[in-house]
Amino acid sequence: MTSSKRFTPNLMDPFLRNGKSMILAYDQGLEHGPSADFDNRNIDPAFIVDIASRGGFNGIALQKGVAERYYDGKVPLIVKVNGKSALVKGEPISKQTCSVEYALSLGAKAVGYTIYLGSAHEAEMFAEFGRIQEEAHERGLAAITWVYPRGGAIANDTAKDVVAYAARAALELGADAAKIKYTGDTQSFSWATKAAGKTKVFMSGGPKAATDDAFLSQVRGAIDAGATGIAVGRNVWQHSEPLKMADLLKQVVFENLQVAAAPKPSS
């Protein structure tokens, strides 16, 4: 099977190690606000940038203001090129905050763009992502989309069919990778990884899980379902020992660690 000359299968290579990947996400300061997610340690972007390199992450996702001031070049960069605050209510929409050209000038190897699938405003985000994807590819950058089903039309954003729809939307819209929520089990998440086709699937983390094993078993389930990896934030940098959590994640993602065997860091 051949692909068109327009498809460059290796744009995600900077973020892969043996075909797998762990990306650290830190755009929550804009998406949720500092008081929702941060404490005195992780409110400092330098703390997170340090975790990314010392924790062996294969990428870090930042908004442009944080990237401009704190990115140290040690880990491949994804610049989020849209964003919104948690203050606006109603049908969600997230618009462009940074050009592809500017992301490239910051050292990005990929741009990230959130689409609220099912929102009354999805058409605007589809169109904007379409332009960004084409420009990113022209400039040799990967286009990664966070596809989050949301709005009045969505009853359950982690239902099997809804998550598979998110994965498929990413493929149809030309994303190199899709960051999607976990469905809760390997079998149902497998449908999403199938739906994504050649678009690589990354599991999104969500709020910090009650126990380390609870989170690690989600990661195990996603990898077993065919995901390329994870793109997570709070479960790492809200952890009392982020580097120990990073080490456990590496073992699950790259070394096939079964979660029952995972040593537990104190949390």
Which residues belong to the active site?
148, 179
In order of 56, 93, 132, 184, 215, the CA distances from 150 in angstroms are: 32, 10, 21, 18, 23
CB of 263 to ligand FBP, least distance (A): 22
Asked if 116 and 60 touch (Cβ cutoff 8 Å), the reply is no
Which residue number, 12 or 180, has a Cβ lying nearer to ligand FBP? 180
Which residue number, 85 or 258, has a Cβ lying nearer to ligand FBP? 85
CB of 215 to ligand FBP, least distance (A): 10
C-alpha 12/C-alpha 7 separation (Å) is 12
Question: What number of CA atoms fall less than 13 Å from residue 181's CA on the CB side?
Answer: 22
In order of 168, 182, 187, 215, 248, the CA distances from 224 in angstroms are: 19, 12, 9, 14, 16
CB of 186 to ligand FBP, least distance (A): 19
Which residue number, 128 or 157, has a Cβ lying nearer to ligand FBP? 157
Lookup result for tokens 């009650």: 210
Lookup result for tokens 């300061």: 29
Q: State the first-to-last Cα distance of the chain, in angstroms, to the nearest integer.
A: 48
* Minimal CB distance residue for ligand FBP: 205
Radius of gyration of the chain (CA): 17
SS3 91: coil
Asked if 106 and 67 touch (Cβ cutoff 8 Å), the reply is yes
Which residue number, 96 or 134, has a Cβ lying nearer to ligand FBP? 96
The residue ranges that bind ligand FBP (CB under 6 A) are: 25, 27-28, 31, 61, 146, 148, 204-206, 232-235
SS3 250: helix
CB of 112 to ligand FBP, least distance (A): 8
CB of 161 to ligand FBP, least distance (A): 19
Which residue number, 8 or 85, has a Cβ lying nearer to ligand FBP? 85
